[in-house]
Amino acid sequence: MKVVITDCNFASFAEEQQMCDRNGHQLIILQCKTPEEVIANTADADALFVQYVPITDAVLANLKQCQVIVRYGIGLDNIDLAAAKKHNVPVCNVPDYGIDEVADHASALTLTLLRQLTFFDNSIRQGKWPSVAPTPMLSCKGMMFTVAGAGRIGRATLERMRAFGFKLGAYDPYVSEKDLNDMGVEKLSLDDLFSKADVISLHLPLSKETHHLVNRDRLKSMKNHAILINTSRGGLIDTHALAAALDAGEIGHAGIDVFESEPMEAGHPLRTCKNALLTPHIAYYSAASIVRLQRFAAEDVERALTGKPLRCQYTAV
């Protein structure tokens, strides 16, 4: 059978190749940038691995015998899921390959910003030796660390922050107050999340409902020392509004790993915000997590092509 990698940024394809070799499949590795390129190369594919390229209705209509599409990663917003259902093409993701890495990254961004480490590092490199930070440096103990989205990554991040003495809170309409209370976490409404939190870490999927969840009005409702962390999806935040809020001192700091446009455009105002700490969509990454990602993805393709139940198939609500 023909297995196609439409696009990816991996250095090795050992896991996919081993899966194909043990089953007698042909592996084809592409770097498609557009749906049109996918259409031109995948009509006879039996399975697709996808990373970033959009998988549109036209792409799906062109697939003549595809038995599965597996996305390298958690989010599925580059795949037209309604069209996949219409064309009867199962779609899988890999939701559990980098839970610890993303939780570690969100925690690291939080602590770096709370302790204002980049300011002190830059000051020393400039020949200075400051004794105070440019904005008040607050203690972790007693502050409220919150997550928007209390799934696996959100919960893992909360557990890391517990060790530093934070009070913990979460907004998640799909998790009961009892379940959160059993974890020692206060259940918050969306309004309370923004008004009460000292730190908000976003761990939500991107959808019509969550697009620009963090907007100008929400930012204005936050504490002026609050920290916003995003290791989830860039579209959750109106980043132009965030840059304006940071420059105006309406919130304290932001740690951002994901952006609506990647790479972030050269003239974006976040690039010049002194209180923003930016990383290049790298929260998921470790040497071990990439191996897990490719192995888990390859295993679901193998299941699909051998008629076995899929591990992580998306099911439309």
Q: Rounded CA gap, 227 and 37, in Å?
A: 41
CA distance linking residue 197 with residue 210, whole number of Å? 19
> b/e per residue, 186-209, with b = 16+ CB within 10 A?
bbbeeeebbebbbbbbbbbebeee
115 is catalytic: no
**Phi, psi at 21, each rounded to 5°:** -65, -45
Choose the catalytic residue: 281, 292, 295, 311: 281
Active site residue 16: no
Among 36, 262, 265, 271, which one carries the catalytic annotation? 262
Question: Using alpha carbons only, how large is the chain's radius of gyration in Å?
Answer: 21
First to last CA, the chain: 31
281 tagged catalytic? yes
Count Cβ neighbours within 10 Å for each residue of 71-95 and write b for 16 or more, e otherwise.
bbbbebeebbbebbeeeebbbbbbb
Long-range contacts of 115-120 (CB under 8 A, 24+ apart): 118/277
Token digits of residue 229: 């962390």
Active-site hit among 105, 233, 253, 303: 233
Catalytic residue ranges: 233, 262, 281
